[in-house]
Amino acid sequence: MKVGVLAIQGAFAAHAAVLESIGVAPVEVRRPAHLEGLDGLVLPGGESTTLSMGLDRAGLTDPLRAFVGSGAPVLGTCAGAILLATQCLDGRSDQVQIGALDVVVRRNAFGRQVDSFEVDLEFPALAAGAPPGRSAAPFHGVFIRAPAVEEVGPSVEVLARLEGTPVAVACGSVVATTFHPELAADPRVHEFVLGRSPAGRR
Ligand code: GLN
Q: What is the pLDDT of residues 103-126, one digit of tens each?
A: 999 999 987 656 799 999 999 999
Domain 2-194 classification at class level: alpha beta
Q: What percent of the chain has pLDDT over 90?
A: 87
Residue 147 C-alpha to ligand 1 middle, in angstroms? 7
CB 176 within 8 A of CB 170: yes
For position 115, what pLDDT does the model report? 77
For position 201, what pLDDT does the model report? 39
Q: What is the pLDDT of residues 95-108, one digit of tens each?
A: 999 999 999 999 99
Test site for ligand 1: of 9, 12, 53, 78, most ligand atoms within 8 A of the Cβ: 78
Alpha helices in 22-167 (DSSP H): 48-57, 61-68, 79-84
**Average pLDDT score over the chain:** 93
Catalytic residues: 78, 180, 182
pTM to 2 decimal places: 0.94
For position 129, what pLDDT does the model report? 63
Q: Does the pLDDT at position 93 exceed 50?
A: yes
CB 112 within 8 A of CB 133: no
> In the structure, which protein residues have their CB atom closer than 6 angstroms to any atom of ligand 1?
45-48, 78-79, 82, 107-108, 144-145
